[in-house]
């Protein structure tokens, strides 16, 4: 399949939205003379810190313009500069939506990936949802390195495409490492990837937690995503059992309160309770 300029991927498959963009898709949108239309001051400082490396600047810009465009199109942010991509000490990004005029503030999990000329990015929908994504070109290099990242539990369905499978397993492990926020630090051989249906995998982290994953090929590029659904809402906590002593003292506190209100009302000349509505 030909790789498009901008396309949603895995729509409706999990609690996230993801888009694949060709880097050139940002050219009609982003004017380098007006970076403030897209970026908050802290992001412009992060861009300046990248220096003059043109490839790095372009992938950085493309990933963020793609993500912010998606957030604005989905009505999550009103303006691109209101959705600020911030990273933690390990490099894991999140979106902070901050609208100064309405005072709205929200933090959203997101994930970014670049592999020229493509960028792939996603944000999670719903509190406590998380997503990790990756775009990876199919390459023989990963087959030479497979012993460094495979686990004995990794299994792909038979399709006579060892290089494609190695690319997918690597890419899924990158996606999972991004969801976990660790990057390579989690040790890829500790992660497991099992293809359950064509295009669907189960990813298991080092703690044994399993999450779903999807992949799709665009020409020789694989895109992968894994996600974590929001926790189901906790059932309401049961009301505490009151002891007989509690109930008796509560009743006497209520009687004293009512008497005090009656006295205050008599002193002020107003009735203690609202008179019945005449209509
Ligand atoms: C995350 C990682 C696997 C990405 O792999 P990659 O092939 O280099 O790059 P990709 O294009 O697929 O992804 C890059 C994006 O991953 C994201 N990323 C980086 N570190 C991340 C982390 N710890 N968790 C989640 N996402 C992370 C970033 O958003 C980055 O995009 P940006 O630079 O435009 O913000 C790899 O860069 C990594 O392990 N980084 C962590 C390195 C580290 O341990 N740093 C310690 C700093 S104290």
Q: How far is CA 186 from CA 88, 156, 247, in A?
A: 16, 22, 54
Q: What does the pLDDT read at residue 235?
A: 63
225 with 122: CB under 8 angstroms? yes
Nearest ligand 1 atom to the CA of 63 is 34
Structural domains in the chain plus CATH codes: 6-228 (3.90.470.20)
Question: N- to C-terminal Cα distance for the chain?
Answer: 72
Helix, coil or strand: residue 196? strand
- Give pTM, 2 decimals: 0.84
Rg over CA atoms, the chain = 27
Determine the distance separating the centroid of ligand 1 and the alpha carbon of 121, expressed in angstroms: 13
Nearest ligand 1 atom to the CA of 85 is 35
Determine the distance separating the centroid of ligand 1 and the alpha carbon of 93, expressed in angstroms: 9
Determine the distance separating the centroid of ligand 1 and the alpha carbon of 239, expressed in angstroms: 46
Q: What does the pLDDT read at residue 160?
A: 93
Ligand 1-lining residues (CB < 6 angstroms):
60, 63, 89-93, 112-114, 134, 174, 177-178, 181-185
Q: What does the pLDDT read at residue 239?
A: 66
The one-digit pLDDT tens for each residue of the chain (279 residues) are 445 689 999 999 999 999 999 999 999 999 999 999 999 999 999 999 999 999 999 999 999 999 999 999 999 999 999 999 999 999 999 999 998 888 889 999 999 999 999 999 999 998 889 999 999 999 999 999 999 999 999 999 999 999 999 999 999 999 999 999 999 999 999 999 999 999 999 999 999 999 999 999 999 999 999 999 987 656 666 666 777 777 778 778 888 888 888 887 777 665 555 444 443
């Amino acid at each position: 399949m030909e790789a498009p300029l901008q396309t949603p991927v895995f729509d409706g498959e999990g609690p996230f939205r993801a888009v694949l963009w060709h880097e050139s898709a940002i050219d009609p949108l982003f004017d380098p003379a007006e970076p403030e239309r897209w970026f908050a001051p802290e992001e412009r400082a992060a861009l300046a810190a990248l220096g003059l490396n043109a490839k790095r600047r372009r992938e950085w810009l493309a990933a963020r313009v793609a993500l912010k465009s998606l957030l604005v199109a989905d009505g999550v942010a009103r303006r691109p500069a209101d959705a600020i991509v911030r990273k933690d000490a390990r490099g894991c990004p999140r979106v902070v939506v901050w609208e100064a005029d309405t005072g709205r503030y929200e933090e959203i999990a997101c994930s970014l990936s670049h592999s020229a000329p493509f960028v792939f990015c996603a944000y999670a929908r719903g509190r406590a949802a998380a997503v990790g994504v990756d775009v990876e070109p199919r390459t023989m290099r990963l087959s030479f390195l497979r012993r460094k990242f495979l686990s004995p539990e990794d299994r792909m369905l038979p399709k006579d495409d060892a290089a494609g499978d190695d690319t997918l397993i690597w890419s899924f492990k990158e996606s999972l490492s991004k969801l976990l926020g660790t990057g390579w630090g989690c040790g890829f051989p500790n992660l497991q990837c099992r293809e359950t249906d064509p295009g669907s995998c189960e990813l298991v982290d080092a703690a044994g937690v399993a999450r779903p994953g999807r992949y799709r090929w665009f020409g020789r590029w694989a895109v992968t995503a894994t996600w974590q659904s929001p926790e189901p809402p906790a059932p309401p906590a049961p009301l505490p059992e009151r002891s007989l002593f509690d109930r008796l003292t509560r009743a006497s506190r209520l009687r004293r309160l009512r008497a005090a209100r009656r006295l205050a009302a008599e002193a002020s000349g107003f009735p203690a309770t609202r008179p019945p509505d005449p209509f």
